[in-house]
Copies of this chain bind each other. A is one copy, B any other.
Amino acid sequence: MFDSLPLCQCLKIKYPLILGGMAWIGKGALAAAVSNAGGLGTIGSGSMTLVELREEINRCQMSTTKPFAVNILMLDPAVEEKVSLLLELRVPVVIFGAGNPGAFLETFRRAGAVTMGVVSSENLALLLERAGVDFIIGEGCESGGHIGSVTTMVLIPALADLLRTPVIAAGGIADGRGIAAAFMLGAQGVQIGTRFIASVESDANETYKQMILKSGIRDTVVTGERLGHPVRVLKTSFSKKIKRMELDSSEEAERLLLGSYRKAYQNGNLHEGSFLAGQSAGLVHEVSTCQEIIDKMFTQATTILEYTNTHIIERRKNEQRGSI
């Protein structure tokens, strides 16, 4: 049903959905589960050593015959080695985050990979389009993790107006309503992260998953704004402490933040952990398999689109017939 959309045409996948690139959580097994379920799974390379990244890509390749992506961060100190590894392993899709990929983009294009870039502003989107990226993922500030300042409702129409490149919407989407809304705004697909943290195949620890289920829509905060790198995380005593601290003691705050994502993911450490999540955590109510999650959200999206339109078309016909 969605197969004429550019993401589905290009990659021969069933659903126009990309798993958000997530440090720690974006393992090969989760990526394979999303790909097997008909979306595009994504391995998050930012938290991995080269050895770990190779292992996770191998694991993914052994667990799915479908395409998958690797998310690579431009600020990664090992970015050049990771680029080489992705080329060596013939990773089919590369998603650039945290900045301009520069010459790497051409390298991957020549290698035949599909390329995508995550943006939170029009400026970077234009640069990426001129450099020839295949898809632009516009990420609204309601997302988890590193964020910009513009919301999905505003960013996506602005990018759709500006670009010829297909736009994928990210941020605030956890079910079929967000997917349907993203299409209305001008997107041709969606990227979803938080919803999949609370999946069976995610290896985030149980505390993390339960915190997402228990979170309301107002239970995230943005730390690091004063430090120049705003990151959205679940509200905990630790994240609230960081927010207070960064006003006065930015070095101390930075020190505490080091390693805090790992402590959340591995140990569910509420006192020292940063639990990345978007505001859509408030819309996530159960842990399900990736297949269940994806089938349900796209069934819901289709139903919403059909219902609304049938309603409008019926009334239009009635008006024309003069029965109103």
Contacts and interface: CB of A to CB of B under 8 A. Distances in A.
A308 B310 CA distance: 11
Contacts of A142: 150-151, 153-154
A186 interface: yes
Contact of A309 (B3, B121, B308): B308
B309 A158 contact: no
Given A305-B308, A312-B302, A279 B184 contact: no
Interface stretch (A23-31, A39-47, A172-180, A263-271): A172-180
B173 A283 contact: no
Nearest to A182: B181
A316 interface: yes
Contact of A158 (B141, B161, B182, B282): B282
Given A177-B186, A305-B309, A151 B315 contact: no
A157 interface: yes
Q: Is the interface of A mostly helix, strand, loop or mixed?
A: helix
A3 to B, nearest CB: 7
A171 B158 contact: no
B154 A217 contact: yes
Interface in A270-302: 278-280, 282-283, 302
A302 B308 CA distance: 10
Contact of A1 (B3, B184, B316): B316
Contacts of A164: none
A93 interface: no
A175 B158 CA distance: 11
A203 interface: no
A218 interface: yes
A308 B184 contact: yes
B315 A1 contact: yes
Contacts of A103: none
Interface of A: 1, 3-4, 121-122, 140-142, 148-155, 157-158, 160-161, 171-175, 177-178, 180-186, 216-218, 247, 278-280, 282-283, 302, 304-306, 308-313, 315-316, 319, 324
28 contacts: A1-B315, A1-B319, A121-B218, A141-B151, A142-B151, A142-B153, A142-B154, A150-B282, A151-B172, A152-B153, A153-B172, A153-B173, A153-B181, A154-B217, A155-B217, A157-B283, A177-B184, A177-B185, A177-B186, A180-B184, A183-B184, A302-B312, A305-B305, A305-B308, A305-B312, A306-B313, A309-B309, A309-B310
